[in-house]
Amino acid sequence: MISQGLADVVIASALVITLLAYVKLSRIEGSYINVLLPSLITAIPASYFFPWIYVHIFGTGASQYSFLYVYATLAVENVAFVYAYSRARAKVVGLPFRFSYRNFGLLAWICLGSRF
């Protein structure tokens, strides 16, 4: 069983890492409204705030390992997402008979026309 003090430290640490990942992505994108914002709007209350309240009201029966593991994976998930999202900036080369982003225009119209 994990103590409330350690639970507070683990939750706060994971929250700080998540918020730092959001700030990093905001600096890369140049805006605080970015792809990670909807996730944070739902994840902060559901994963950090409400569990923190639950631990203070009812305590927790979780082991230290499981509690650390869950919150470490929540933090690493956001860091990994920001890293992968920021690294995927390469432009796709548009060759005549190969797929690239600009070659999907005709394909999109064909798929849309086949729906009717």
Give the ranges where the chain is alpha helix by DSSP (H).
Answer: 4-29, 37-43, 50-58, 64-87, 104-114
Amino acid in the structure at residue 39: S
The predicted model gives 13-32 an average pLDDT of 94
Quickly tell me which residue has 């009717």 as its tokens: 116
The predicted model gives 2-28 an average pLDDT of 95
- Tell me which DSSP letter residue 95 carries: -
Return the pLDDT at 110.
81
Quickly tell me which residue has 């080369």 as its tokens: 93
The predicted model gives 1-23 an average pLDDT of 95
Question: What is the count of structural domains for the chain?
Answer: 1
Return the pLDDT at 25.
94
Three-state secondary-structure class, residue 46? helix
Return the pLDDT at 89.
64
pLDDT in tens, 79-112: 999 999 888 766 555 556 655 556 667 777 787 7
Return the pLDDT at 100.
59
pLDDT in tens, 26-60: 999 899 999 999 999 999 999 999 999 999 999 98
Contact 9, 70 (CB under 8 A): no
Quickly tell me which residue has 């690294």 as its tokens: 87
Domain that includes residue 37, residue range: 4-114
